[in-house]
Amino acid sequence: MRLEASRLVCVRGGREVFTSVGFSVGSGEALVVTGRNGAGKSSLLRMVAGLVRLGGGRLALAGGDADKTIPEQCHYLGHQDALKPSLTVAENLGFWAGYLGGDIVHTALETVGLIALADTPAAYLSAGQRRRLAIARLLAASRPVWLLDEPTAALDREAQGILADIMRAHLAADGIVIAAAHGPIGLDRPNELRLGAAR
């Protein structure tokens, strides 16, 4: 499987954020998108996820499921954790697992270290615990392409290690990881795409 982008253009609010951006990332590979604030890192991930319209250029996923769109084969982990405070940890993940077509809730919560809080309402979680719960969505339903926007935000060192292990396992299973980050994300020598400064 290979995700390829060529001559991508992003326009937000009438402003050209970036132009002529291209990359190629295949099974078992990670790509870290870097650049200053406003360079378009988040917009690029959201574009691949189908949440931002392409202003130009082309995206293609070779070797993927021909019956599904690229966004349907992606997990998108953005800045917002997308949790309902009144639902428990398990209920939140159960909702997303059902919505995304998965059912591995218990195992996913164990992996991110939240199984003891399964019956706790999400409203009582710390910022780091909320982030762990959001990361558990990656495991609760299988999708080959992971789009991670500042995935280590709010995570302590232990949780960063858990996330790194999860990403390594995904890559070892021929998955693809594209992460927007200002610093290291725990992967050894990932490919890098550096976006220019905001105009």
For the cut 70, the answer to whether the pLDDT of residue 18 exceeds it is yes
Report the alpha-carbon distance of residue 91 to residue 72 in Å, rounded: 23
Two structure tokens written together for 125 = 């979680």
Q: Which band of pLDDT confidence, cut at 50, 70 and 90, is reported for residue 198?
A: very low
Q: Which band of pLDDT confidence, cut at 50, 70 and 90, is reported for residue 189?
A: confident
Residues 6+ apart with CB under 8 A from 184: none
Which is nearest to 112 in space by CA: 76, 88, 140, 83? 140
* pLDDT confidence of residue 41: 96
- pLDDT (mean) for 61-82: 94
Q: What percent of the chain has pLDDT over 70?
A: 98
Residue-wise pLDDT for 72-107, tens only, equals 999 999 988 889 999 999 999 999 999 888 888 999
Least confident of 41-45, 86-90, 103-107, 115-119: 103-107
Residues 6+ apart with CB under 8 A from 154: 127, 128, 130, 131
* pLDDT confidence of residue 13: 87
Average pLDDT, the chain: 94
Q: What percent of the chain has pLDDT over 90?
A: 87
For the full predicted model, state whether its pTM sits above 0.85: yes
- pLDDT (mean) for 145-172: 96
CATH of domain 2-82+126-193: 3.40.50.300
Q: Which band of pLDDT confidence, cut at 50, 70 and 90, is reported for residue 199?
A: very low
* pLDDT confidence of residue 197: 47
Annotated domain spans of the chain: 2-82+126-193
The CA R_g of the chain, rounded to the nearest whole Å, is 17
